[in-house]
Amino acid sequence: MSKSENKVAGYAIIGFGNIGKALARAFARKGIEVSVATTREPESFASDAAAIGPGIIPTTLAEAVRADVIFLAVRFESHPDVAKALPTWQGKTIVDVTNAYGVSPEKLGGQPSAKVVEQAFTGGKLVKGFNHLGAAILDQDPAVHGGRRVVFVASDDDGAAAEIGALAEKLGFSPIKLGGLSEGGLLVQACGNSWGQLIFKDLVKFD
Ligand SMILES: NC(=O)c1ccc[n+]([C@@H]2O[C@H](COP(=O)([O-])OP(=O)(O)OC[C@H]3O[C@@H](n4cnc5c(N)ncnc54)[C@H](OP(=O)(O)O)[C@@H]3O)[C@@H](O)[C@H]2O)c1
């Protein structure tokens, strides 16, 4: 029996690219187990997972979504494929780490990208967070210069925001709650060719 068949962690990261690996390293740093899944068979990235730490469990998407808290670390365009993995996400907390940079506001129906993701994950509690740090920064120990690196957390569900805030603290970050997805959450969401104001202070726009 492979490691992926006999273990399911309470936490999962879907996507094991730049951001998925950086998040996995944060879990490994604190000795907290987490499942990781991609589009591929777990054997194909098992050595990368093992290199990060023994608590990083390579698994399939179907197994990973059995976790209670699921980090979505795929490209924004891939979120509907991940959402198909379960008929309902009731009882699950999804942490949306995606940046819908370059996706037109029309394509999002004028909504914040996290609202679009929330609707795809029917019944789930959506928390937008951990997305404002570049992968190379997120990858590092958040204890820096005598302080702790900040992560922003926004949700329409106060309980879920508190849950992910507490997890962020366990991972060594300093969480800042921004309120709901359509208000504070917009500060950390890319919109079309603009970044949220808390991603880049001066709301940089690329044409
Ligand atoms: N890179 C950054 O600095 C940064 C910073 C903040 C936020 N973000 C956001 O974080 C997300 C991930 O970025 P990244 O740079 O880590 O991307 P990436 O390196 O391209 O990794 C994407 C990962 O998602 C997996 N994936 C795609 N579709 C999937 C599906 N249907 N089921 C399961 N796994 C799937 C891919 O699997 P395979 O390996 O099998 O292809 C890959 O492991 C994006 O939304 C990005 O905007 C990125």
Ligand 1 pocket list (CB less than 6 A): 14-20, 37-40, 61, 73-76, 78, 81-82, 97-99, 131, 134-135
CA of 73 to the centre of ligand 1 (A): 5
Q: Which residues are CB-contacts of 88 (< 8 A; sequence separation ≥ 6)? A: 122, 123
Closest approach atom of ligand 1 to CA 21: 16
Q: Tell the residue nearest (CA) to atom 47 of ligand 1.
A: 99
CA of 17 to the centre of ligand 1 (A): 5
Q: Which residues in the chain show pLDDT less than 70? A: 1-9, 200-207
CA of 38 to the centre of ligand 1 (A): 9
The pLDDT score that the predictor gives to residue 71 is: 98
How many DSSP H helices and E strands does the chain contain?
8, 10
Q: Tell the residue nearest (CA) to atom 39 of ligand 1.
A: 38
The pLDDT score that the predictor gives to residue 193 is: 87
The pLDDT score that the predictor gives to residue 7 is: 56
CA of 126 to the centre of ligand 1 (A): 18
Q: Is 158 exposed, middle or buried (0-12, 13-18, 19+ CB in 10 A)?
A: exposed
Angstrom CA distances, 160 to 10, 91, 133, 174, 197, stand at 15, 10, 21, 16, 23
Nearest alpha-carbon partner for 95 in 59, 134, 67 = 67
Q: Tell the residue nearest (CA) to atom 33 of ligand 1.
A: 38
The pLDDT score that the predictor gives to residue 20 is: 98
CA of 76 to the centre of ligand 1 (A): 8
Of 16, 18, 140, the residue with max ligand 1 atoms within 8 A of its CB, to mutate for a pocket test, comes to 18
Closest approach atom of ligand 1 to CA 18: 16
Burial 77-110 (b: 16+ CB within 10 A, else e): eebeebbebbeebeebbbbbbbbbbebeeeebee
Q: Tell the residue nearest (CA) to atom 6 of ligand 1.
A: 131
Widest pairwise Cα distance in the chain: 52
Helix (H) or strand (E) holding 162: helix 158-170
Enter the pTM of the model: 0.94
